[in-house]
C-alpha cells in the first residue's frame, strides 16, 4: 500500500481524529521472525468510551504472516 492510498482512505472515511491500532502477527513453528511487507489490511470501526458515553472512530491496520 502506498502512503497516499492510506491518506485517501483516512480522508474519504473522515478518520482524521480516529485512534489507530496496528496489529502484526508472524509466527513460525513456535518462534517469531521480523519481516517487512507493504501488504496490509486497513479497516475502520468504532469503540465506546464509557467516560464520554460516546462512540469514537478507530482505524485498524492489520498485518498477518500470510500477507507477505
CA distances from 48 to 10, 22, 53, 56, 57 (A): 20, 19, 7, 6, 9
pLDDT band at 65 (very low <50, low <70, confident <90, very high): low
Residue 67 in this model has a pLDDT that exceeds 60: no
Residue 49 in this model has a pLDDT that exceeds 70: yes
Which pLDDT belongs to residue 68? 46
pTM of the full structure:
0.62
Mean pLDDT (the chain) is 81
Which pLDDT belongs to residue 24? 74
CA distance 52 to 28: 42
Residue 12 in this model has a pLDDT that exceeds 90: yes
**What value, to the nearest 5°, has the Cα angle with vertex 39 and ends 23 and 8?**
90
Amino acid at each position: 500500500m502506498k502512503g497516499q492510498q492510506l491518506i485517501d482512505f483516512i480522508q474519504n472515511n473522515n478518520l482524521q481524529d480516529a485512534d489507530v491500532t496496528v496489529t502484526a502477527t508472524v509466527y513460525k513453528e513456535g518462534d517469531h521472525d521480523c519481516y517487512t511487507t507493504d501488504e496490509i489490511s486497513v479497516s475502520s470501526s468504532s469503540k465506546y468510551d464509557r467516560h464520554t458515553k460516546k462512540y469514537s472512530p478507530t482505524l485498524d491496520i492489520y498485518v498477518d504472516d500470510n500477507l507477505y
